[in-house]
Amino acid sequence: MKEAGDGEASESNEDDGEEEEERGGEGLGGGERRGEEWEIDPSKLVIKGVIARGTYGTVHRGIYDGHDVAVKLLDWGQEGTRTEAEIAKLRDDFLLEVSIWQKLDHPNVATFMGAATGVRDLSIQTENGNLVVPNNVCCLVVEYLPGGTLKSFLIKNRRRKLPFKVVVQLALDLARGLSYLHSKKTVHRDVKTENMLLDKMRTVKITDFGVARIEAQNPNDMTGETGTLGYMAPEVLNGNPYNHKCDVYSFGICLWEIYCCDMPYPDLSFTEITSAVVRQNLRPEIPRCCPSSLATVMKRCWDATPEKRPEMNEVVTMLEAIDTSKGGE
């Protein structure tokens, strides 16, 4: 899966965000902790080799109760290496991710299997025997998706590009997943091809809900730079209030990336991108060979004005209306 530090998945929640955070806080507190419905039985979990590393841990292949899974292990360091406040924040973030992800159920969202907090006596199988996992680790278990990230798939196809039919299918998978999230009042906040995984049938599944949030009733409650440069909407880059339309903007960039099999703004620095996107309305250059039906979706999604961007269910309808039988070379 993707970077462990960023979080892998999130569940969708129809309740209000504060309620979720309060519920989550019970899970890691200290002495007394009642079992949560999402808690797994660690004795049924077999952890294998690392498939990704992140800021606060690692992602491993594994088996849980007979299923192939990806296991994100979050390790907050030995005692004394982090402050109590830092550990509390990491735990709250972990529980918020779990609380969001566990409620999601959609073909284009990676399936959440369960999680465990403060686990002891876990071990990782290696060729040289078992490694003991540090005590107090939290783990998050999701379905294993063998196709890797959408980003790596696009990079592999950079030279020859993808058939137009495949472009539209990948885009539809992502659009349907995001439309579902938004219907559950969930804002992903870090939509990028690196956070999308492919199953063996090349179906796109959204993952990494580490910074996802339940959408605030008041947009002023959602501010701050969250996301990945290149995919971040102007209002987010500017530090202005934002809502789920920031995901729509990011989808527009992903759509361009899927069509072009290329990365947005490869030669620009952080400062240059921020300034140009916000002040000069910089967007990736759409190739002339791109069918106008697809180019229109890109442009509408990455409009500088959030209110002018379509809802994701509208994007699904627009993509479904595209005739892929004529190619689009």
Which residues belong to the active site? 190
Exposure b/e, 43-64, CB count within 10 A at least 16 = b: eebbbeeebbebebbbbbbbbb
Distance CA 271, CA 300 (A): 25
CB 252 within 8 A of CB 319: no
Distance CA 58, CA 45 (A): 16
Tell the residue number behind the tokens 């990782």, with chain if given.
Answer: 124
CB 145 within 8 A of CB 205: yes
Taking CA 76 as the corner, what is the angle to CA 72 and CA 78, rounded to the nearest 5 degrees?
Answer: 130
CB 62 within 8 A of CB 138: no
Neighbours of 101 (CB within 10 A): 30
The DSSP-derived string for 103-152 is: T---TTBPPEEEEEEEE-S-EEEETTEEEEPPTTEEEEEEE--TT-BHHH
Nearest to 184 by CA among 320, 16, 317, 8: 16
Distance CA 281, CA 296 (A): 16
DSSP 311: P
| CA-based torsion, 79, 80, 81, 82: positive or negative | positive
Exposure b/e, 251-283, CB count within 10 A at least 16 = b: bbbbbbbbbbbbbbbeebeeeebbeebbeeebb
